[in-house]
Amino acid sequence: MAFRTDIEIARAAKKKPIQEIGAALGIPPEHLLPYGHDKAKVGQGFIDGLKDRPDGKLVLVTAVNPTPAGEGKTTTTVGLGDGLNRIGRNAVVCIREASLGPNFGMKGGAAGGGLAQVVPMEDMNLHFTGDFHAITSAHSLLAAMIDNHIYWGNELDIDIRRVVWRRVVDMNDRALRQITASLGGVANGFPRETGFDITVASEVMAILCLARDLKDLEERLGAMIVAYRRDKTPVYCRDIGAEGAMTVLLKDAMQPNLVQTLENNPAFVHGGPFANIAHGCNSVIATKTALKLADFVVTEAGFGADLGAEKFMNIKCRKAGIAPSVVVVVATVRAMKMNGGVARADLGAENVEAVKAGCANLGRHIENVKGFGVPVVVAINHFVTDTDAEVQAVKDYVEGQDAEAVLSRHWELGSEGSAPLAEAVARLADADTAQFATLYPDAMGLADKIETIATRIYRADGVVLDGKLRAQLKDWEDQGYGDLPVCMAKTQYSFTTDPTLRGAPTGFTIPVREVRLSAGAGFVVAICGEIMTMPGLPKAPAAQSIRLNAAGEIEGLF
């Protein structure tokens, strides 16, 4: 087979009409709201009717700490879904939507890769079904209403220095990170400092992905803290009266998007919150709907297992009342080499010793996942440069951890290549050994929750949490927020807060720089290190090469 790029493969896909994909799941066409011929939203009426059905089994795909070598978590998620369908298990894939803005900086992301992709890839990297635009609109409406409230007399007595609701745009626009607004005199309001984040960083996004239904969505939106008064008491979104209109703007965005894999299997692609200041998972409504429609639901979480799987378990599963039957940890020989100290330029050469050394990173993730009471399979996402000896080294290591590693060749072969992984996952799921438990109870204090994650998951010696932050956490406990889970914002490249420390470091502490309350989403964010909520564009942005060619095809986006 001649080498084909992801986009060439995606364009050559023999897509079925989306109504056929829906019909295979038992969704009648009148409950599928089409967006073109290959995308559709699933109607709320249909979802409501599923309540009494039993749930299928949930499989989480997570990974070792990401390295520049790439792990292929989404690719493996898609490949596993196709593999399960191939071996006769009905499976639905649930992944996140892509953010528009970053595609114009670096080249756009595929949804998967090789023969394990979700299509239509171009739409998914552009406006898709408009969900993120709806989130931007809802967020912007609240922002406008806050300043409008201040403009017309500020009855709520908002301290204009303490408006915490920023604005958002789905674009990499560093010039908007920090601005002074309401300039220009009396007609334009009271000047104050504020700024823009990228849309995926909006609390509205996190809420959309955690809300059970539209009623829950509206309540959560209303509970968001948008500002503080001089006496430090919070002003909520519901005080501004925006939550109803925001819900109206989000009513379609709340419905899961149905698309298909290259092998015409169903995929829900819905929601996409940041994986640092938010929980980084696709929507609860998509996952729960999929669980009603299929025997297996394969989903993924952001970053490595230390961040993504931890939040998936402690935030999403806890709040949604769901639990994984099996967790797949994706590793690659290349990533093990980099964790073992090999530079990116040297990844081409066989280096079994480095692979073995790097497996310590994988081992810690396996142990962590098992700590949640869920059985683990390691998927070795195959690269054509991997040698047999290197693959065997990973397999041997994993066996030593009392788990199984399966080489998976979905990128190259599609479901034919992932069938062995699917068999292993199905076998473990059928055995029904999972005894899911969150890492900490709701009732644990907020500071202790942070400490528990740092010491039990990252294996830090402790956290550095100064008196001011402890007092803030205590205040929130007194205000009734003590039951919330904690959302850690930390570098994804290391168990520590230092992105250069690969492998399985020990002897470090986790300094917490700031804590934030996402009262609507329902978690407390602990920020450990620099977190960028508005990316910039590179010197030569991809946008300069993106255009329609004479055939009407998009060039330069991928």
**Which active-site residues does the annotation give?**
73, 75, 96, 107, 275, 303, 383, 411
What is the closest distance, in whole angstroms, from the C-beta atom of residue 134 to its own copies in the complex? 6
Contact 274/533 with Cβ under 8 angstroms?
A: yes
Is 73 assigned a ligand-binding role in the annotation?
A: yes
Comparing CA positions, the residue from 407, 499, 493 lying closest to residue 63 is 493
Binding flag, residue 244, its own copies (CB under 8 A): yes
522: left (phi over 0), alpha (psi -120 to 50) or beta: left
- Minimum Å distance from CB 7 to its own copies? 13
Cβ proximity to its own copies: between 13 and 393 the closer is 13
* Residue among 461 and 530 whose Cβ is closer to its own copies: 530
What letter would DSSP give residue 427?
A: H
405: Cβ–Cβ under 8 A, 6 or more apart, which residues? Answer: 331, 377, 378, 379, 380, 394, 395, 397, 398, 399
Q: Report the candidate in 109, 13, 122, 104 with the shortest Cα–Cα distance to residue 70.
A: 109
Size of interface with its own copies, in residues (CB under 8 A): 76
Q: Quote the least distance from Cβ 335 to its own copies, whole Å.
A: 30
Q: Which string of b and e fits 289-308 if b means at least 16 CB within 10 Å?
A: bbbbbbbbbbbbbbbbbbbb
509 in a labelled binding site: no
In the bound complex, what is the minimum distance in angstroms from residue 408's beta carbon to its own copies? 34
* Structure token digits, residue 167: 């604005």
Nearer to its own copies, 22 or 363 (CB): 22
Query: Residue 180 CB, nearest distance to its own copies (Å)?
Result: 4
When the beta carbons of 195 and 445 are compared against its own copies, the nearer one is 195
Cβ-based nearer residue to its own copies, 4 or 37:
37
Kindly state whether residue 327 participates in binding its own copies, applying the rule CB under 8 A. no
- 153 in a known ligand binding site: no
Pattern of binders to its own copies over 30-59, x per CB under 8 A? x--xxxxx------x---------------
Find out whether 33 and 40 touch, Cβ atoms under 8 Å: yes
Residues between 480 and 509 with contacts to its own copies, criterion CB under 8 A: none
Residue closer to its own copies, measured from CB, 184 or 467: 184
Cα four-point dihedral sign 495, 496, 500, 504: negative
Site for its own copies in 354-373 (CB under 8 A): none
Please, which residue, 140 or 361, has the CB nearer to its own copies? 140
Q: What is the dihedral of CA 421, 365, 271, 289, to 10 degrees?
A: 50
How does DSSP assign 323-372, residue by residue? --SEEEEEE-HHHHHHHTT--GGGTTS--HHHHHHHHHHHHHHHHHHHHT
Which residues in the 405-444 window bind its own copies by CB under 8 A? none
Question: Is 74 among the annotated ligand-binding positions?
Answer: yes
Instruction: Tell whether 370 is in a known binding site.
Output: no
**Which parts of 209-228 interact with its own copies (CB under 8 A)?**
214, 218
Q: Token pair 């409501």 is at which residue?
A: 48
Nearer to its own copies, 385 or 544 (CB): 544
Signed CA dihedral, 272, 275, 277, 279: sign only? positive
How many whole angstroms separate alpha carbon 138 and alpha carbon 381?
39
32: Cα within 13 Å, side-chain hemisphere: 24
Measure the CA–CA gap between 350 and 395, rounded to whole angstroms: 16
Binding mask 248-267 for its own copies (x = CB under 8 A): xx-xx---------------
Enumerate residues 110-169 that contact its own copies by CB under 8 A.
126-127, 130, 133-134, 136-137, 140-141, 143-145, 147-148, 151-153, 167, 169
CB of 13 to its own copies, least distance (A): 17
Start-end of H helices in 223-265: 237-240, 243-250
Q: Which two tokens stand for residue 409?
A: 């060749």
Q: What angle do CA 327, 328, 332 make, to 5 degrees?
A: 155
12 or 144: whose CB is closer to its own copies? 144
* 521 is known to lie in a ligand binding site: no
H or E segment and range at residue 77: helix 73-86
497 marked as binding residue: no
Q: C-beta of 111: minimal distance to its own copies in Å?
A: 18
Known binding residue 120? Answer is no
State the minimum distance, in angstroms, from the CB of residue 556 to its own copies. Answer: 7
Which residues from 517-556 bind its own copies, rule CB under 8 A?
536-537, 539, 541-548, 552, 554, 556
- Ranges of H-type helices in 374-509: 388-400, 410-413, 415-431, 446-452, 467-476
Which residues between 74 and 113 bind its own copies (CB under 8 A)?
100-101, 104
Q: What letters, b where the CB count within 10 A reaches 16 and e where it falls short, cover 256-268?
A: bbbbbbbbbbbbb
| Interacting positions 175-214 with its own copies (CB under 8 A) | 175-184, 187-189, 193, 195, 214
Q: How far is the CB of 149 from its own copies (least distance, A)?
A: 9
H or E element in which residue 215 lies? helix 214-222
Backbone angles phi, psi at 198, to 5 degrees: -80, 150
For the annotated binding site, the residues are 67-74
Annotated binding site for ATP: 67-74
